[in-house]
């Protein structure tokens, strides 16, 4: 037992005796003492888990169950990827202290929320916004300047709008609904396919959604994560229905009901149905091509790393291009 554990336990017992000396008695007091002791033991156990997480030198291969040094990227026994398998070191400690850290679903939600906060901080809510879905809607100028899809400007070189539009929302209800859908669908993909594949599916289907919208609705300023969400939904349904076992087909059947519910929103005036259909179709296509789990070979892992890096760089580059174009676009609106 470490010095700090002894110190904390001794400190709690001294505090208890002091309070008893001041007259604390009765059944309620006995219950409080027990609750405090149990709470301290749970906290100490959590700290011990963090310490073990830093010290541990091995992790287990999910394919052959072999214990492998935590520094290895692939299992020397079977060649399987160890990507995503918890190991030791500081990274493991952070995951224990912050269970959501590194989670791609939470990362996507965070970026979506931050972009909305930036628009509100810069432009506020539109004074003409009304209705349930229009609650706290940013002005259209903000959506344009922060990277909404507009075909004319895409054709004039601002192709990055196909990416940035996936992280913008037209109001607080729009944002909350899409974040709820993402937190419902994202972990399903992330758990079965890995965080890298989730980010790729979100990115590819999001771009496909707004490319479809740019083609069929060229005069519309469009934004929102729902195109990519329809893509994730289409991916999960097709993979579960055609490339998985009984449990996968059962999940696909449940998601079909979810899709029917989401399809009701296609009837709302002003909804970009072209983007939703483009995302759904591209996601379904990926469901026929992408395999479950992490790559089992070094070559497959390298290919996935290259694709993920390209998607991350394209996303970051799109936001940088949006920032660099902000002043020129503002002048084009006659506001600069």
Domain boundary assignment for the chain: 3-97, 104-332
Percent of the chain exceeding pLDDT 70 equals 87
Q: Binning pLDDT at 50, 70 and 90, where does residue 336 land?
A: low
Of 17, 20, 18, 12, nearest to 43 (Cα)? 12
pLDDT at 83 over 60: yes
Q: How far apart are CA 298 and CA 319, in angstroms?
A: 32
User: Is residue 236 packed enough to be buried (19+ CB in 10 Å), middle (13-18) or exposed (0-12)?
Assistant: buried
- Active site members: 226, 276
Q: How far apart are CA 128 and CA 136, in angstroms?
A: 10
The model's pLDDT over 2-35, given as tens digits with 9 standing for 90+, comes to: 677 887 888 888 888 888 888 888 888 888 888 8
For the chain, the average pLDDT equals 85
* pLDDT for the residue 76: 85
The model's pLDDT over 210-262, given as tens digits with 9 standing for 90+, comes to: 999 999 999 999 999 999 999 999 999 999 999 888 878 888 888 888 787 77
Percent of the chain exceeding pLDDT 90 equals 42
- Overall size of the chain counted in residues: 336
Q: How far apart are CA 295 and CA 81, in angstroms?
A: 6
Q: How far apart are CA 182 and CA 185, in angstroms?
A: 5
CATH class of 104-332: mainly alpha
Q: Strands, E, within the chain: which ranges? A: 58-60, 67-69
* pLDDT for the residue 81: 73
pTM of this structure: 0.71
Q: Binning pLDDT at 50, 70 and 90, where does residue 91 land?
A: low
Conformational region of residue 138, where left means phi above 0, alpha means psi within -120 to 50, and beta covers everything else: beta
- What are the structure tokens assigned to 168, written together? 């913008």
């Amino acid at each position: 037992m470490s010095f700090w554990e002894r110190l904390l336990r001794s400190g709690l017992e001294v505090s208890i005796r002091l309070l008893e000396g001041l007259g604390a008695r009765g059944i309620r007091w006995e219950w409080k003492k027990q609750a405090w002791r149990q709470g301290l033991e749970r906290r100490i156990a959590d700290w011990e888990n963090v310490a073990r997480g830093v010290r541990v030198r091995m992790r287990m291969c999910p394919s052959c169950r072999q214990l492998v040094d935590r520094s290895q990227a692939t299992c020397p026994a079977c060649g399987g990827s160890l990507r995503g398998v918890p190991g030791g070191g500081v990274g493991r400690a952070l995951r224990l202290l912050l269970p959501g850290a590194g989670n791609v679903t939470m990362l996507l939600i965070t970026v979506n929320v931050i972009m909305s906060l930036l628009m509100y901080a810069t432009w506020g809510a539109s004074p003409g916004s009304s209705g349930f879905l229009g609650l706290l809607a940013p002005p259209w100028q903000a959506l344009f300047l922060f990277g909404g899809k507009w075909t004319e400007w895409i054709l004039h070189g601002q192709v990055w709008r196909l990416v940035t539009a996936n992280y913008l929302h037209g109001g607080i209800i729009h944002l909350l609904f899409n974040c709820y859908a993402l937190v419902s669908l994202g972990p399903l993909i992330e758990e079965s396919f890995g965080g890298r594949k989730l980010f790729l599916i979100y990115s590819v289907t999001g771009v496909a959604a707004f490319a479809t919208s740019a083609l069929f609705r060229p005069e519309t300023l469009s934004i929102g994560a729902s195109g990519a969400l329809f893509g994730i939904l289409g991916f999960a349904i097709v993979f579960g229905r055609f490339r998985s076992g009984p449990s996968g087909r059962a999940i696909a059947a449940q998601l079909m009901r979810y899709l029917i519910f989401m399809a009701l929103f296609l009837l709302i005036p002003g909804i970009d149905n072209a983007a939703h259909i483009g995302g759904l179709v591209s996601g379904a296509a990926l469901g026929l091509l992408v395999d479950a789990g992490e790559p089992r070979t070094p070559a497959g892992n390298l290919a996935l790393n290259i694709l993920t890096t390209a998607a991350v760089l394209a996303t970051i580059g799109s936001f940088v291009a949006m920032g660099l174009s902000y002043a020129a676009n503002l002048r084009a609106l006659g506001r600069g």
